[in-house]
Amino acid sequence: MEKKNIMDAPVLYDEQNTFRGVMKRLFRENKLAILSLVIIAIFVIGAVFAPWLTPYGYEDIDPINRLSGLSKEHPLGADELGRDVLTRLLYGSRISLLVGIVPTIISMLAGAVLGIVAGYMGGRVDSVIMRLADIMLAFPSMLLAMVIMYTLGDGIINIFLALALVNWASVARIVRAETLKLREAEFVEAARSIGVSNFKIMWRHIMPNCIPSMIVLFTLNIPSAILSESSLSFLGLGIEKPMASWGMMVNIGRQYLYNNPELSLVPSIAIMLIVLAFNFLGDGLRDVLDPHLKKQ
Amino acid sequence: MEKMTLQVNDLCTSFFTDKGEIKAVNHVSFDVPKRSIIGIVGESGCGKSMTARSVMRLLKYPGKIVSGSIAIEDKELTALTEAEMSNVRGEEISMIFQEPMTSLNPVMKVGKQVQEVVLLHRKVTKQEAKKEVIRIFEKVGISEPEKRYECYPHELSGGLRQRVMIAMAMICRPKLLIADEPTTALDVTVEAQILELMKNLRDEIGTSIILISHNLGVVAELCDYVHVMYAGRIVEQAETFELFDNPKHPYTIGLMNAVDSLEKKQGVLDTIPGTVPNLLDLPEGCSFEPRCGKRCEKCVECVPELHEIAPGHLVRCHACGQEV
């Protein structure tokens, strides 16, 4: 045992998948993703500091300036009640980001747990979970969300529920596919050979290996949730009335489209920007995290 | 009689597929004496890995142990529940695998993976477990153990990874270690180091080892007893020297002739003609009969029994000295 081994090379530092490593490579390879990150950051700052960024509240009425167009008092115009569009846009970004993130997290967690259990256990458990997922996916998701919202009534919590319920199935499918692959991996067998229980194998060995694809899925699911919320709000099935949501603002502006296009245009552009930003970020992350797509 | 670590008796393992039952392990019996290294050799698909997996009870669906007993120091493994078996794995029997590249979880620090075993089987704190991991890392010849503890598998070389696997398997001082072709994926210099290491650990910790290999050289180097398997059956078993000096079964002889050596000075390697029989459709008689140079009518009719031709040397062949 005294012998020095030739293979004991010094420990190499590898920047592979640490947070800093990913960011560095993202910066090097994908400037668009970095730009997206900046745009998202701006919206987040706007949402968090909304009360300090504008002198108005989101339901403050200024009847003299209603439908005034772009002006000094109202840089992005005022709506039919004279509410400041910029203010409502900032407050609306709170709703949009929240709706983008919270139901996505819920559906990711539910989908990941169900997907891992289905993939790892196999057999009857797998069949039951995946048939449920198939049923969810067979419904047109927008219609399903509308039905849920219609039955539960307006309100942000109900939006969370509706969107989470609509989205978990696709997550479960992807995670299950990943699990099926990992289940056959030798390290899972090795873990079993040292007496690790099934639950611990799923939690400590399979789940962490799914995380890269889940991060990508997360960033790609956020914009679809934001879009769904906007569509629901546009159709009048969104949040409760005095609160501002981008979809609702587009809907209100619709009636004044000829004389005051900014009322619909400004929130539409905001929706487009944030959705594109999240999509580009997701694409960039996928390129960085998935070794198979690298360097083509 | 000396004490046995493991006694396998009349073990049958089958895979129940759509096409029928595949008898991967067919009435296999062997003993592993304390502090010994036994080898199981045979070509691909002869059931050596399946024997190991049956002992660990790690068969994948649709594989199943059909009959037989596996006892580790009087504890019958086939009768244990899955939860009890989990306690045995890693604690009393452990296994190292062929591919050190894929046997470690790529997103977990290797130290943590080894620590997991200790935490599973011993009531110790995380700090104590870590200390123990570093101690075993030193023992298996990993330099700078504290530093390697924090490494991810992709940062280590193949040999180091196999050392980590060995550390993982040995840290609870199991009674039995099953090494399923532990050096196949490694280059020759590293192979020699790993074999040396296993031998040392046997001497130090007193673990018995089952070495599964298709490499006769490795087996000759390391093992006390050798079992030769063919098509799910043990065809010859003997002490290593006896087997290599005095191989009896035509298949064993064929295997030995197929090994290249510098003295032979011949252009073409000897091979055994034909291929391994389809396990779905085994011949009624001796399964080696279609490829055998010494076959007779009896070989077609019935499967030969394992019989002793010299003390401790058993052969399953009609042509080999039954009358003696």
* B2-43 tens-digit pLDDT: 678 899 999 999 999 888 888 889 899 999 999 999 999 988
**Which pLDDT score is estimated for B224?**
92
Q: Is B273 on the interface with A (CB under 8 A)?
A: no
Residue B314, exposed/middle/buried by CB under 10 A (0-12, 13-18, 19+)? buried
**Mean pLDDT, chain A, as a whole number?**
84
* B230-250 tens-digit pLDDT: 988 999 999 999 999 888 898
Q: Nearest CB to B155: which of A3, A14, A192?
A: A14
Which residues does residue B213 pair with via DSSP β-bridges, in sequence order?
Answer: B41
Q: Where along chain A do its domains lie?
A: 27-50+76-291
Q: Which residue ranges form the domains of chain B, and what is each CATH number? A: 4-230 (3.40.50.300)
* Interface subset of A 262-281, CB within 8 angstroms of B: none
* A177-207 tens-digit pLDDT: 999 999 888 889 888 888 888 899 999 899 9
Residues in A touching B88 (Cβ below 8 Å): 195
Cβ within 8 Å, pair B200-A1: yes
Cβ within 8 Å, pair A186-B102: yes
Q: Is A192 on the interface with B (CB under 8 A)?
A: yes
Does the pLDDT at position A8 exceed 50? no
Say which residues have a Cβ less than 8 Å from residue B165's Cβ, sequence separation at least 6. Answer: A190, B96, B97, B100, B103, B104, B182
Q: Which CATH architecture has domain A27-50+76-291?
A: Orthogonal Bundle (1.10)
**Which pLDDT score is estimated for A292?**
57
Please state the three-class secondary structure of chain B as a single string. CCCEEEEEEEEEEEEEECCEEEEEEEEEEEEEECCCEEEEECCCCCCHHHHHHHHHCCCCCCEEEEEEEEEECCEECCCCCHHHHHHHECCCEEEECCCCCCCCCCCCCHHHHHHHHHHHHCCCCHHHHHHHHHHHHHHCCCCCHHHHHCCCHHHCCHHHHHHHHHHHHHCCCCCEEEEECCCCCCCHHHHHHHHHHHHHHHHHHCCEEEEEECCHHHHHHHCCEEEEEECCEEEEEEEHHHHHHCCCCHHHHHHHHCCCCCCCCCCCCCCCCCCCCCHHHCCCCCCCHHHCCCCCHHHHHCCCCCEEEECCEEECCCCCCCCC
* Interface subset of A 46-105, CB within 8 angstroms of B: none
* Interface subset of B 172-201, CB within 8 angstroms of A: 189-190, 193, 197, 200
Give CA torsion, residues A172, A175, A176, A181, to 10 deg: 170
Q: Is A2 on the interface with B (CB under 8 A)?
A: no
Cβ within 8 Å, pair B90-A6: no
Omega cis (within 30) before B62: yes
* Interface subset of B 74-93, CB within 8 angstroms of A: 83, 86-91
Residues in B touching A12 (Cβ below 8 Å): 155
Q: Is B154 on the interface with A (CB under 8 A)?
A: yes
Q: Nearest CB to B107: which of A6, A186, A208?
A: A208
β-pairing verdict for B233-239 and B63-72: unpaired
Cβ within 8 Å, pair B102-A12: no
Cβ within 8 Å, pair A194-B169: yes
Higher pLDDT among residues B164 and A292, named by residue: B164
Q: Mean pLDDT across the stretch A203-217?
A: 88
Q: Is A140 left (phi over 0), alpha (psi -120 to 50) or beta?
A: beta
**Which pLDDT score is estimated for A5?**
46
CA closest to B117 among chain A residues: A194
- CB contact burial A173-182 (16+ within 10 A = b; e otherwise): bbbbebbeeb
Does the pLDDT at position A130 exceed 90? yes
**Which pLDDT score is estimated for B128?**
92
Cβ within 8 Å, pair A211-B107: yes
**Which pLDDT score is estimated for A10?**
43
Tokens of B182: 């532990």
pTM of the predicted model as reported, rounded to 2 decimal places: 0.78
Tokens of B200: 């040392």
- Torsion over CA: A127, A133, A137, A138 (sign): positive
Residue A58 — pLDDT band, cuts 50, 70, 90?
Answer: confident
Q: Mean pLDDT across the stretch B81-85?
A: 89
Q: Is B95 on the interface with A (CB under 8 A)?
A: yes
Residues in B touching A9 (Cβ below 8 Å): 157
Residues in A touching B117 (Cβ below 8 Å): 194-195
Residues in B touching A195 (Cβ below 8 Å): 86-91, 117, 120-121
Q: Is B302 on the interface with A (CB under 8 A)?
A: no
Higher pLDDT among residues A267 and A59, named by residue: A267
Between A114-128, B39-53, B285-299, the lowest mean confidence (pLDDT) is in B285-299
* A238-282 tens-digit pLDDT: 777 778 888 888 888 888 888 888 888 999 999 999 999 999 988
**Which pLDDT score is estimated for B216?**
87
Does the pLDDT at position A79 exceed 70? yes
Does the pLDDT at position A295 exceed 70? no
Q: Is A185 on the interface with B (CB under 8 A)?
A: yes
Q: Mean pLDDT across the stretch A120-130?
A: 92
Walk across the sheet containing B4-17 and list its strands: B20-33, B4-17, B63-72, B75-76
Number of A/B CB contacts below 8 angstroms equals 102
Say which residues have a Cβ less than 8 Å from residue B50's Cβ, sequence separation at least 6. Answer: B13, B24, B25, B59, B63
Grouping H, G, I as helix, E, B as strand and the rest as coil, residue A84 is: strand
Cβ within 8 Å, pair A196-B154: no
